[in-house]
Chains A and B, each alone.
Chain A
């Protein structure tokens, strides 16, 4: 009998819960239009410079539209890319995503799972009409434009001026060459510091890119070699051998093969290593290292930040130091899944319109480029010291070329990215490693 009473009470509670749920939904509907729940995935998370900007913008859009964003953003790395690709393959893709527009996006573009900007404009003619279409990169699959960019990126060389002063080295300028760089590294090493902060066993990406670029020109850098024996193939081999030479000269950290990128970055910010080649997103990381509370900009130690600067990666041959790697490599996609859902279509379009509007993009772009038709004048007074230096550095750039590694994705990278330790230690010949990677690339 007692059990029956308990069962009846539980059943009653369940019925009331269901009724309550129904009522709350009705209440939402009665108050106005039913809120739309959009799932959004971006790379604005973790230590990304724009993580907070993104949170603020999403909050503002939610308040303005009355809709809800289910955010599944994560730091940009190989795991994130795999997650996004797998989500598309298994039909659990988000409604909107901010993702790369290079080879990483090929699989879901080939499968027709995202809409091109032109297709969206057939129904929404004013869709991202504030963007300069000529600056939006096309897909590698069909040349159509799918991703609406927000902020561009650049890759350059950050320097710790305190170490340079201690070693009697001048700040590198626009005419900086590899020979000058090696001379400076020798002086820095003699002064007891590590010249280059890089974890070759973990993130060799930036050195890989510029070492190859230094044997090419902006016109040829994005051509993937047909074979190791052609001119571009030999440029790749020469680039790998340049890194090997720097390793043998002892310019990388002693633990460069076993360290993580975080460890070598800490060496740079803590005044133990002089040079760091990285991207525009690292400005936030360096500024954060100069704050007692990385989340609170008011705790910035301006004197400490003043010791950091950013300049050009040493050039060689046809690549001037001022020829940078950069561009608009990511953007907002609307998935076909959201488009085909009558409740979500308008909300997804409105979300992307808002996130790429003239009022939101400048906050994200800061010292990097954007594709806005009417990009507002940059007000240096709003920027910190390193951001101002970055703007000055960018003003002197003579070209901006995309990253070759954005085209060289997947298994083909293994021999020269993951295999970089073997190359620099001489266990694998650079030419063999490049040949192996190219063979995989051309068989993909």
Chain B
């Protein structure tokens, strides 16, 4: 009797059905509907498309002509590089340093993780004040050091840096915690053996910590790259409408801009499809590059 209950799969289906239904209604149906919308003429949010575009693929053809699409893709790819190097890289350095200190590990874990619990919109507003042109924190500090001219941190040449820095800073703590946990899982015996053999701290990091963290680093890298595709709220809060001169659009912010601001809903739908396609391709590429090893 006891073993038979595991053979009957019907109860399992009953428990899985609500989740499946939820996914179908709130994810798969909207996704398929969005693909259909991208071929239709919809000029108002919430209004259904009544006719197909002429030609039906007009939005996809427009994407190739629209310079802002290429700017958004380029910026998103740049964001991926920044998240990889800036988030995972810095988190790695911090994790290794914290792992090598005797006391205060918990303190640093809390401090570095803290930005994660603040909403991205609040952080965007915070960094708006930090980078404010007139009376912003950084410009005031520079003024105190004798700089007479104010710096426009949101000007065309420097805007991308100003946008990516807070995004990078926000998630360092997230990867830091994952990497510290990974380091904790490495047996102390290996380090003790290396110490007996006369290995320096750098050698222990180079030949024990990093190789044994390989799978954790791969997971972090995949999360960072796919996460970069979804970055939206902080950049939009700091640089609405791709300001300045539409140079700071990311794929997500550009899709939102067309859907919510210009009411070009069908084009926004087409951009959403592009984001999904980009996401699938990049996930495949990243997964093949950062392939996990079996130990």
Identify the A interface with B (CB < 8 A): 78-79, 82, 85-90, 107, 201-202, 254-255, 257-259, 263, 266-267, 272, 410-411, 413-414, 418, 421-422, 425, 427, 444
A427 to B47, CA, bound (A): 34
Interface pair A257/B244, CB less than 8 Å apart: yes
Please indicate the chain A residues that have their CB under 8 angstroms from the CB of B246 in the complex.
Answer: 418, 421-422
Q: A79 vs B240: C-alpha distance in the bound complex, in angstroms?
A: 13
The 9 closest A-B pairs by CB, nearest first: A89-B46, A86-B46, A258-B154, A258-B244, A255-B152, A257-B244, A255-B133, A411-B262, A421-B245
Q: Whose C-beta in chain B lies nearest to the C-beta of A253?
A: B133
* Chain B residues close to A by CB (< 8 Å): 43-47, 132-134, 150, 152, 154-156, 159, 240-241, 243-246, 260-264
**In the bound complex, do residue A85 and residue B260 qualify as a contact, i.e. CB atoms below 8 Å apart?**
no
Q: Which residue of B lies closest to A200 (CB)?
A: B244
CB of B65 to closest CB in A, whole Å: 13
Interchain CB contact (< 8 A) of A258 among B43, B45, B159: B159
B261-A263 in contact (CB<8A) = no
Q: Is the CB of B46 within 8 A of A254?
A: no
Using known A-B contacts A107-B47, A254-B152, A258-B154, determine if residue A410 contacts B262 with beta carbons closer than 8 Å.
yes
Shortest A414–chain B CB gap in Å is 5
CB of B134 within 8 A of CB of A272, answer yes
What CA separation (Å) do A90 and B46 show in the bound complex?
Answer: 7
Indicate whether A411 sits within 8 Å of B264 (C-beta atoms), given known contacts A89-B44, A255-B154, A258-B152: yes
- Nearest A residue (CB) for B128: A260
Kindly list 5 other residue pairs between chains A and B, CB separation below 8 angstroms, not including A78-B261, A86-B45: A254-B152, A257-B245, A263-B133, A272-B134, A410-B43
Contact B133 A414 (CB under 8 A): no
User: For B132, B159, B240, B245, which residue has the most chain A Cβ atoms within 10 angstroms?
Assistant: B245
Whether A425 contacts B134 in the complex (CB less than 8 A), given A89-B44, A255-B154, comes out as no
| Cβ–Cβ contact B260 & A425, under 8 A | no
Pair B134/A257 contact, Cβ less than 8 Å: no
Give Cα A96 to B25, complex, Å.
31
Distance in Å: Cβ of B148 to nearest Cβ of chain A: 12
Whether the Cβ atoms of A82 and B260 lie closer than 8 Å is: yes
Task: Return chain B residues, CB-CB under 8 Å to A413.
Answer: 262
Docked pose: A100 CA to B241 CA in angstroms:
24
Chain B residues within an 8 Å CB radius of A410: 43-44, 262-263
Is A85 within 8 A of B133, CB to CB?
A: no
Instruction: A216 to B157: give the CA distance in the assembly, Å.
Output: 38
Q: Which A residues touch B154, using CB under 8 A?
A: 255, 258-259
How many angstroms from the CA of A284 to the CA of B133 in the assembled complex? 25
Name the A residues within 8 Å of B156 (CB-CB). 257-258
Closest Cβ–Cβ distance, residue B239 to chain A (whole Å) = 8
Q: Which residues of A contact B132 (CB under 8 A)?
A: 263
In the bound assembly, the distance between CA atoms of A107 and B240 in angstroms comes to: 26
A201 vs B152: C-alpha distance in the bound complex, in angstroms? Answer: 14
Expressed in whole angstroms, the minimum distance between the Cβ of B43 and any Cβ of chain A is: 6
Contacts of A90 in B (CB 8 A): 46
Shortest beta-carbon distance from B254 to chain A in Å = 12
Contact of B44 among A107, A202, A258, A267 (CB under 8 A): A107
Contacts of A444 in B (CB 8 A): 43
Contact check, A82 vs B241: say whether CB atoms are below 8 A apart. Answer: no
Contact B245 A422 (CB under 8 A): yes
A311 to chain B, nearest CB (A): 25
A89/B43 in contact, CB under 8 A: no
What residues of chain A lie closer than 8 Å to B47, measured between beta carbons? 85, 89, 107
Please report the C-alpha to C-alpha distance between residue A427 and residue B156 in the assembled complex, in whole angstroms. 13
The reply to whether B263 and A411 form a contact with Cβ atoms under 8 Å apart is yes
Report the nearest A residue to B153, measured CB to CB: A258
User: Are A263 and B43 within 8 A (Cβ)?
Assistant: no
Instruction: Check A259/B133 contact, CB under 8 A, given A78-B260, A85-B45, A411-B262.
Output: yes
Verify B45–A82 contact, CB threshold 8 A.
yes
What residues of A have a CB within 8 angstroms of the CB of B245 in the complex? 201, 257, 421-422, 425, 427
In the complex, the answer to whether A257 meets B262 with C-beta atoms within 8 Å is: no
A266, A413, A418, A425 interface centre (most CB from chain B within 10 Å): A418
- CA distance in complex: A259, B43 (Å): 29
Given the known A-B contacts A422-B245, A427-B245, are A85 and B134 also in contact in the complex, defined by CB atoms under 8 Å?
no
5 of the cross-chain contacts (CB-CB < 8 Å) are A255-B133, A258-B159, A418-B261, A418-B262, A421-B246
CB B260 to nearest CB in A, in angstroms, measures 6
Shortest beta-carbon distance from B128 to chain A in Å: 8
In the complex, the chain A residue whose C-beta lies closest to that of B149 is A254
| Smallest beta-carbon distance A75→chain B, Å | 15
Q: Are B134 and A267 in contact (CB under 8 A)?
A: yes
Q: Are B155 and A255 in contact (CB under 8 A)?
A: yes
**A427 (CB) vs chain B CBs: closest residue:** B245
B152 contacts which chain A residues (CB < 8 A)? Answer: 254-255, 258
Report B-chain residues with C-beta under 8 Å of the C-beta of A201. 241, 243-245
* Docked complex Cα distance between A272 and B56 (Å): 52
Point out which of A78, A201, A413, A425 has the most chain B C-beta atoms below 10 A from its C-beta: A201
The listed residue (B46, B155, B241, B261) touching A85 by CB distance below 8 A is B46
What residues on B are CB-neighbors of A85 within 8 Å? Answer: 44-47
A263–B135 CA distance with the chains assembled, in angstroms: 10
Within the complex, what minimum Cβ distance (angstroms) separates B45 from chain A?
5
Query: In chain B, what residue has the closest Cβ to A86?
Result: B46
Tell me the minimal C-beta distance from A247 to chain B in angstroms. Answer: 13
